[in-house]
């Protein structure tokens, strides 16, 4: 069995195992798994409105997954995507509220502000990693909390006098689309899905088809060999974190300019950045894998909302299934051993 085929089969088997164990948990808990999964399917695909909501849901997941996957591909662990996501959301809304410009200027400016905010928030752990060899996992985790409280402070005291939210952005800065809403029975689907798809292509092209991408991956594989070859290791570490943070900030813009069109004080994390870690793991840290993985997560998240209504099954069980999928992906070595043995039996 080829390495490529195994890399494709591993996440598929992990998903099936997660669903299987989730089914067993439902049976032991006294719930009907057939009714639960039927309700989940109906909640995701039963109406055109639900399909629009699924696409809207997985749009930021694609970008958060790309942020994590990009860092992984270059040998870094960006666990701060949640914080970069929040700062991108804040920056996009800030520009959307503070200025009233023509749409052709205002919307790109708000998106660029989100990208810059996410990149800047990731620049700090990148700089500390490059200059002082401070592990990026610790710094990025801590900066999630800093981002949460800084954004809450700025919303309350700087951006607006509305209290706990910024108020709506100007229509010239919104990603909302009357056309997309009308064809999906007025869901919250917006143009951000196109941005997410383009971002997948950008990540693939940058890593696989450019000299800079080769340098970034080389530094991730072996810093000493890269330095011996004449590459600037510190510069590439910082650049890698900045690009990863840019994807995360862009994910925030999807929520701030598309789904909600405002920023509000938050009592806790949104979870999108942390879900991005699971999306990247399931997607094998590739752009195409992240895209399909994000779709699965969007289906599970939106479909789960229908489970208590139609089947009387708590939607928290979907979170258990997602956790099980991540567990089996993390245990992919066992799956690969099984596939190797299976392929050897076929040869005999």
Could you read off the pLDDT of 100-112 as tens digits, one per residue?
A: 999 999 999 999 9
User: Does 163 score more than 80 pLDDT?
Assistant: no
Q: pLDDT (tens digit, 9 = 90+) per residue, 266-321?
A: 999 999 999 999 999 999 999 999 999 999 999 999 999 999 999 999 988 888 99
Please state the rounded mean pLDDT for residues 143-159: 94
d(CA 138, CA 3): 33
Neighbouring C-beta atoms of residue 81, cutoff 10 Å:
34
pLDDT per residue over 32-68, tens digit each?
999 999 999 999 999 999 999 999 999 999 999 999 9
The pLDDT of 250-254, averaged and rounded, is: 98
Q: What share of the chain is helix, strand, coil (3-state, %, to 5)?
A: 80, 0, 20
The per-residue pLDDT of the chain, averaged, comes to: 92
Using pLDDT thresholds of 50, 70 and 90, give the confidence band for residue 224.
confident
Average pLDDT over residues 132-161: 93
HSE (side-chain half, CA atoms, 13 Å) at 298:
25
- The tokens for 42 are 């109906």
Weakest-pLDDT range from 7-16, 200-209, 286-295 = 7-16
Helix axes 332-347, 316-330, angle to 10 degrees: 60
Q: Measure the CA–CA gap between 174 and 156, rounded to whole angstroms.
A: 22
CA–CA distance, 254 with 261 (Å, rounded to integer): 9
Q: Compute the distance between CA of residue 150 and CA of residue 84 in angstroms, rounded to an integer.
A: 12
- Average the pLDDT over each of 17-31, 220-234, 319-333 and give the range with the smallest value: 319-333
Query: In a 10 Å sphere around its CB, with 0-12 CB exposed, 13-18 middle and 19+ buried, how is residue 190 labelled?
Result: buried
By C-alpha distance, which of 69, 62, 65, 71 is closest to 241? 71
| The two three-digit tokens of residue 211, written as one number | 């000299």
Structure tokens at 339: 């596939």
What pLDDT does 334 receive? 74
pLDDT classification of 330: cutoffs 50, 70, 90: confident
Res 1 pLDDT > 70: no
> How far apart (Å, rounded) are the C-alpha atoms in residues 180 and 198?
18
Comparing CA positions, the residue from 345, 293, 260 lying closest to residue 66 is 293
Does the pLDDT of residue 120 top 90, yes or no?
Answer: yes
pLDDT value at 88 more than 80 = yes
- pLDDT of residue 147 exceeding 90: yes
The pLDDT score that the predictor gives to residue 345 is 62
pLDDT at 178 over 80: yes
The pLDDT assigned to 189 comes to: 97
For tokens 């799956």, the residue is: 335
């Amino acid at each position: 069995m080829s390495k490529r085929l195994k890399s494709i089969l591993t996440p598929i088997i992990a998903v099936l195992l997660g669903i299987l164990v989730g089914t067993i948990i439902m049976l032991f808990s006294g719930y009907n798994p057939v009714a639960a999964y039927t309700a989940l399917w109906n909640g995701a695909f039963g109406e055109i409105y639900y399909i629009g909501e699924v696409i809207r849901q997985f749009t930021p997941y694609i970008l958060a997954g790309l942020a994590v996957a990009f860092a992984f591909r270059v040998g870094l662990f960006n666990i701060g995507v949640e914080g970069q996501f929040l700062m991108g959301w804040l920056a996009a809304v800030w520009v959307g509220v503070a200025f009233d410009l023509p749409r052709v200027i205002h919307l790109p400016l708000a998106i660029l502000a989100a990208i810059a905010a996410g990149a800047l928030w990731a620049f700090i752990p990148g700089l500390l990693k490059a200059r002082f060899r401070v592990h990026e996992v610790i710094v990025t985790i801590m900066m999630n909390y800093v981002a949460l409280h800084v954004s809450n402070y700025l919303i309350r005291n700087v951006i607006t006098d509305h209290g706990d939210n910024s108020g709506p952005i100007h229509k010239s800065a919104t990603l909302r689309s009357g056309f997309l809403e009308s064809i999906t029975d007025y869901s919250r689907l917006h143009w951000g899905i196109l941005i997410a798809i383009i971002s997948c292509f950008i990540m693939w092209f940058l890593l696989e088809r450019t000299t800079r991408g080769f340098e970034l991956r080389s530094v991730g594989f072996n810093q000493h060999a890269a330095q011996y070859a004449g590459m600037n290791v510190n510069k590439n570490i910082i650049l890698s974190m900045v690009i990863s943070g840019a994807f995360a900030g862009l994910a925030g813009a999807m929520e701030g300019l598309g789904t909600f069109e405002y920023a509000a004080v938050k009592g806790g994390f949104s979870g999108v950045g942390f879900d991005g870690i699971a999306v990247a793991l399931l997607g094998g840290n590739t752009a195409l894998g992240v895209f399909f993985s994000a779709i699965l997560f969007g289906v599970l998240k939106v479909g789960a909302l229908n489970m208590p209504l139609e089947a009387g099954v708590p939607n928290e069980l979907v979170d258990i299934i997602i956790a099980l999928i991540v567990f089996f992906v993390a245990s992919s070595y066992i799956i690969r051993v099984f596939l190797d043995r299976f392929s050897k039996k076929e040869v005999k």
